[in-house]
Amino acid sequence: MTYEEKCNKNTFRVKCGERSSNDKVEHSGSRNFFRGNRYFCWRPFICKMNIEGRILKEIKELQTNPPPGISARPKPDNNRHFDVRLIGPRDTPFEEGIFRLELFLPEGYPISPPKVHFMTKIFHPNIDQIGRVCLDILKSKWSPALKISSLLVSIQSLISEPNPDDPLDTAIAKKWKEDPEGAKKTAREWTALYAMQ
């Protein structure tokens, strides 16, 4: 497997099984290194990867093979800003709802995680009233190996399985803990009111 990364004006190639003494790599510390036949580039780093190429590849994948129940399209003038539509999972209080999200890829992507914001109101302990999402892969568990599609599938799974023990909205989490049937009823009502228009 061959990969190329552009580091400022230099280009280097690393092939599995070999490493050339002419490889040109710029890095800012001992956390960037060769181990065997692979180059590891960790934070902090100067190495400028071909980020736009990765983003375009992910966009193509989202268009040709989208995850079930998920639609994500970049804005016409900005490949880093996505409009996302997520269909509420079956057999949940969110079923048949169409939830709109905004997803933004910051300058540090894929080292830094995407920013995600629910535009559609949802009665969920892990999503607050201003649309922020409590999900570990949006913070400490993010990995550059993850992609937009895998993140959106994780958000879809989070909707399916609310976790009131790790809440973002404590009042809603309390309702899910103390009166789960009442919470599901409210979630269905909010879905009908906000996500079915």
Question: How large is the C-alpha radius of gyration of the chain?
Answer: 20
Contact criterion met (CB below 8 Å) for 168 and 155:
no
Q: Is residue 57 part of a domain?
A: yes
Partnered with residue 74 across adjacent β-strands are 82
At residue 57 the predicted structure's pLDDT band, cuts being 50, 70 and 90, is: very high
Q: Do 63 and 15 fall into the same domain?
A: no
- Mean pLDDT calculated for residue range 29-41: 51
Question: Which domain covers residue 34, as residue numbers?
Answer: 2-40
Q: Do 33 and 129 fall into the same domain?
A: no
Q: What is the pLDDT of residue 157?
A: 96
At residue 150 the predicted structure's pLDDT band, cuts being 50, 70 and 90, is: very high
Q: Is residue 84 part of a domain?
A: yes
Q: Is residue 140 part of a domain?
A: yes
Q: Percent of the chain at pLDDT above 90?
A: 72
Q: Do 57 and 121 fall into the same domain?
A: yes
Residue 19 pLDDT > 70, yes or no?
A: no
Residue 107 CB coordination number (10 Å): 8
Q: Is residue 102 part of a domain?
A: yes
Contacts 24+ apart (CB under 8 A), 151-157: 151/103, 151/113, 151/114, 151/116, 152/67, 152/70, 152/72, 152/84, 152/86, 152/103, 153/67, 153/70, 155/86, 155/101, 155/116, 156/67, 156/69, 156/70, 156/86, 156/89
Task: Specify the pTM.
Answer: 0.75
- The catalytic residue positions are 134
* Residues 89-109 pLDDT 10s: 999 999 999 999 999 999 999
Q: Is residue 45 part of a domain?
A: no
> Closest Cα to residue 120, out of 146, 149, 92, 83?
83
Q: Do 14 and 76 fall into the same domain?
A: no
The residue that leads in pLDDT, 22 or 10, is: 22
Q: Do 14 and 69 fall into the same domain?
A: no
Q: Do 36 and 88 fall into the same domain?
A: no
Q: Do 26 and 59 fall into the same domain?
A: no
Q: Is residue 93 part of a domain?
A: yes
Q: Do 55 and 12 fall into the same domain?
A: no
Q: Do 14 and 59 fall into the same domain?
A: no
Q: What is the pLDDT of residue 197?
A: 73
Q: Do 87 and 168 fall into the same domain?
A: yes
| CATH code of the domain in which 157 resides | 3.10.110.10
Q: Is residue 46 part of a domain?
A: no
Domain total for the chain? 2
